[in-house]
Amino acid sequence: MDLSNSVRRLGVKKHVLGMGVLWILLGGWAVAAPAQTEGDQPGQEARRDTEQAIDTRRETQQRQDEWSEEKADLVNRFRSATAGVRWLRERKTEESAKARALDDRVAELQRRLGEADRLEGSMQDTLMVIFHRLEESVAESLPFLPEERSLRLASVGDELVRPDVTSAEKLRRLLETLQVEAGYASNVEVYQDMIEVEGEQIHADVLRIGRVALFWRTPDGDRVGNFDPSVGRWTELPGRVKRRIQLAMEMATRMRPVELIDLPLGRIGQ
């Protein structure tokens, strides 16, 4: 009976010993104890209670183990989710800053585009004004190299009105033409051209002295003359200046050393 009471106390305790130890105790008790009779109800009840307690403890332990695993998995998932949320918030902050910077950049580019369009329209007007003044200057200047200069002006004029040519290229071409025209003032040359003298077409050698004076001479040297800006036409000069014009042409073509020479320039400018 003392052993039965001990087993009952073991069954009602909150913390039961390990299943292996209990089975050893029960096995030893079964060997040592005398055989139970069919009427020994208390022993059978104690055994059932013990078995139920063991099953309950085993089931509870299994559920605790399962819950511990599930809890660890949930904790890991929570920590991972928390880290992911923190990373996403940081990325959101960075991307928001980038988006604001891009918006500011786009606004600045739009402002510059608007300013560029305004400046391009203004530059186009300015280029056309300069070009027309250049045309007037060429028309009013001495008529040297007329075909070459006319073709250059025509080419620049066509390019200035083309919409597919950038303003920078238009400006470059116009400045290039201005430089060429300005360069005529600092050199001398001799070229052949057809000129009209008193209604007569003459093939002549033309001496250009900068942008100041033009002289002409027939290939045989028999006739000479100049372009008179006061009347705007080619005129013939007396024979006494033939030698001087011939010398000037030889110096311009580097056929003789440069020296001072007296030429009838007449009035320069109006």
DSSP letters spanning 108-140:
HHHHHHHHHHHHHHHHHHHHHHHHHHHHHHHHH
Q: What is the pLDDT of residues 200-235, one digit of tens each?
A: 999 999 999 998 899 999 998 889 999 998 888 999
pTM, full prediction: 0.55
Burial class (CB in 10 A: 0-12, 13-18, 19+), 224: buried
Q: What pLDDT band is residue 263 in, cutting at 50, 70 and 90? A: confident
Burial class (CB in 10 A: 0-12, 13-18, 19+), 28: exposed
pLDDT for the residue numbered 40: 60
The rounded distance, in Å, linking the Cα atoms of 244 and 265 is 12
Question: Residue holding tokens 């005529």?
Answer: 184
CB 201 within 8 A of CB 194: yes
pLDDT for the residue numbered 265: 78
Q: What is the pLDDT of residues 129-181, one digit of tens each?
A: 999 999 999 988 888 998 899 999 999 999 999 988 888 899 999 999 999 99
Angstrom distances, CA of residue 140 to CA of 134, 135, 137, 197, 232: 10, 9, 5, 19, 9
- Inter-helix orientation angle 2-12/41-140, to 10°: 20
CB 211 within 8 A of CB 269: no
The structure tokens listed for 51 are: 């078995």
